[in-house]
Chain A
Amino acid sequence: MNAITSAKQEQVNVTTKASLSQIELTETVGNIYADDAKMSIRNANVYYGDKQAIDNISLDLAKNQVTALIGPSGCGKSTFLRCLNRMNDTIDICKITGQFTLDDEDIYAKSLDPVLLRARVGMVFQKPNPFPKSIYENVAYGARIHGLINNKAELDEIVETSLQKAGLFNEVKDRLNDPGTGLSGGQQQRLCIARTIAVSPEVILMDEPASALDPIATAIIEELIDELKEKYTIAIVTHSMQQAARVSQHTAYFHMGKLVEMGKTEDIFTRPSHKLTENYITGRFG
């Protein structure tokens, strides 16, 4: 698993938009493997009914690092992310094949309870979606349902530390009983992150966590992501190339359900190997 494949250079000489879609993708270029993989995905395919949304994708999520999934709209990056904590199980027509492991454990094994998996692999959504409850209850929710606490003092402790880790505690400590929906968009999103952290997950999946936020709130979230990677493995879907460049250590470029290129973030953004990646990050496509 630690072997490193040499980047396979494809002979691609086309630059016009019209011919881009005709490029035949054969194999992912770059390096999909991580030295210390928290999650590994091999030959993943996802179908919605007859439509194939993900086509034979393999990659690793490096432990305690941030992996950014980028690509044009509809390329399957969100679908892929949702496979990592089996959120797609709730969609009836969705069919998933391939091998998904978390710490070398098959997460699609029959014996594995998706409910327990989701406690280990948390998720932050595109639009801030706090429960219509108080700030305190929002964070306490996960701890309560997983029975992580024995008394009120422990719960207070979890709520406080989670809010602190999400960088929200100082702003809300005097109004923990106010409704979470009354916060600003950026604060709501940090509340959702705090809520996710409160369950002590190992991996956090973020689906465009800053796309609904203003630049200042976005900057705060990005700083937070950078701090969170000390304790958690993070995968983030983003439409912002700058954001991917700022927060991630690894970047995967998706195109029409396929993984085109993956590698260290600085390599992808300075020396993309694949023509499609280059066109996308230079703004010529997507």
Chain B
Amino acid sequence: MNSSLLFFVLLGLTLFSYWFGVQRSLKVAGGAEHKKELTSLPQQFGLLTAMVCGLPALITLLIFNSAEQIIVEQLLISTLPANIQSLSSVDIGLYLNNIHAMASSESATNLLQGSGISSDNYVQTQYQAAFTLQELNQQASWLKTALVLIIACVSVTVLVRKFSLTYQARQKSESIILALLVASSAVAILTTIGIIISVLFESIHFFKSVSPVEFMFGTQWSPQTAMRVDQVGGSGSFGAIPLFAGTMLITFIAMLLAVPVGLMIAIYLSQYASAKLRAFAKPMLEILAGIPTVVYGFFAALTVAPVIRNFGESLGLSVASESALAAGLVMGTMIIPFVSSLSEDAISAVPNSLKEASFGMGATKSETVLKVLLPAALPGIVGAILLAVSRAIGETMIVVMAAGMAANLTANPLDSVTTVTVQIVTLLTGDQEFDSPKTLAAFALGLMLFITTLGLNVLALKVVRKYREQYD
């Protein structure tokens, strides 16, 4: 039985155990009319039985599946002739790949025939090995099916024997559910830690060839390293300052547009707009956030950038065709719904009693918004802005298309700049060696980006905590 079929069988068995658990508990109670005598509800007995049936078996299945491949290969290698076993690990890997291909494409009888008729000793061994592999796989599959089903049945039987009038089925099933909840949050946390660790190690690797001081404080970015010793040009300089400056410039321009516009939209929608208009306008705004960023990207590159350049030239300014301004403005537009939607939620969450108190003292609507609602909603608004900032810093597609690749260290929004994310993309696209400083630089940039956003978040949390106006 293959794994997916086994999984569905197990699912069916779990559903059956639910019913079985309910029936058994009713039997223990002495019929449905006596179910009040049980300390837990029959459904809770059923739930516990289902979980005890499904979970250990499922875990076994997962562990078996991940270990199966390795064990089968080890067994296979041990059957191979000594001259092949003595090959290097890379060569054995290639050899095994061949055998896997043969085993999955040919039927068992063909393989047996092949090993019989072939005169070449090498080919004969291969046919034999492929046949062994098929057999091993089959045995593993049987073993897996038997193991999973036996575990499911045995655990249910053991559990059901323990059922009594005072059996605490509810408490037990709740603690299993609690363990599941803990496991789920552990998955998220462990993933984050895993990503950080992998980025960290690659960065350490990078910092062995480029000094961290040069990376963090250098103002030259030109990551072309020589591939051969005698190659001319591409000395490679890895000063990340221009990239971060570019990122900050574009983010700043984007926030300059998104924060005021988003906040005003939030105030209008939450305080002034009629219910009808709000019901229409809010989803429309959120569509803005649903547009793929690549669409924004060519909108920025093909529409906004030329308009800005033409306008700048009519004023006698020299504007790069890929300007930070164009990328920033389009990114700001993309971010508006983040700010407006979250801020509106924050403003609407301010208790109505505060609004009434302000009105009751003769405050106008605008005074109420400015002096009562906005301060009370500040933590939510700062949170919204922060989310928007991290979104802007991490945004890639728009800047790849609209901001350009030139690592200029400039504060002029009409110049072309590049960002951290753009450089990561260019460093890693195409055929690359994975141990040259050029590629590893991407990990170092990623680490710096991560530290920057983390720092921003911590800072904002502090700000919010200090200035938050507490309402209950």
Contacts and interface: CB of A to CB of B under 8 A. Distances in A.
B151 interface: no
A130 B356 CA distance: 11
B351 A129 contact: yes
Nearest to B363: A145
B67 to A, nearest CB: 58
B362 A125 contact: no
B361 interface: yes
Given A125-B353, A125-B356, A127-B353, A132 B469 contact: yes
B471 A132 contact: yes
A193 to B, nearest CB: 12
A122 to B, nearest CB: 6
Interface in B337-371: 351, 353-354, 356-364, 367, 371
B357 A131 contact: yes
Interface stretch (A17-25, A65-73, A113-121, A227-235): A113-121
Given A131-B354, A141-B371, A192-B357, A115 B362 contact: yes
B435 interface: no
Contacts of A122: 360-362
Interface residues on chain B, size class: 20 to 34
Interface in A108-166: 115-120, 122-123, 125, 127, 129-133, 141-142, 145-146
A141 B361 contact: yes
A148 B356 CA distance: 21
A187 interface: no
Contacts of B354: 129, 131-132
Nearest to B275: A92
A118 B471 contact: no
A132 to B, nearest CB: 3
A129 B358 CA distance: 10
B2 interface: no
A125 B469 contact: no
Contact of B371 (A92, A119, A127, A145): A145
Interface in B392-413: none
A53 interface: no
B470 A179 contact: yes
B364 A115 contact: yes
Contacts of B470: 132, 179, 181
Interface of B is mostly: helix
Interface residues of A, number: 29
Looking at A92, A141, A192, the one whose CB has the most chain B CB atoms below 10 A away is A141
Contacts of A277: none
B472 interface: yes
Nearest to A138: B357
A262 B114 CA distance: 111
Contacts of A123: 356, 360-361
A196 B361 CA distance: 6
Given A118-B359, A125-B357, A129-B353, A181 B471 contact: yes
B376 interface: yes
Contacts of B471: 132, 181
A199 B361 contact: yes
B472 A181 contact: yes
B363 A85 contact: no
Looking at A92, A117, A142, the one whose CB has the most chain B CB atoms below 10 A away is A142
A258 interface: no
A263 B472 CA distance: 40
A122 B356 CA distance: 11
Looking at B354, B362, B364, B367, the one whose CB has the most chain A CB atoms below 10 A away is B362
A145 B367 contact: yes
A11 B359 CA distance: 45
A146 B362 contact: yes
A270 interface: no
Contacts of A13: none
B375 interface: yes
B315 to A, nearest CB: 43
A127 B352 CA distance: 11
Interface in A65-103: 85, 87, 90, 92
20 contacts: A87-B359, A92-B275, A115-B364, A118-B359, A118-B361, A122-B360, A122-B361, A122-B362, A123-B361, A125-B356, A125-B357, A125-B360, A127-B353, A131-B372, A141-B371, A142-B363, A145-B367, A181-B470, A181-B472, A199-B361
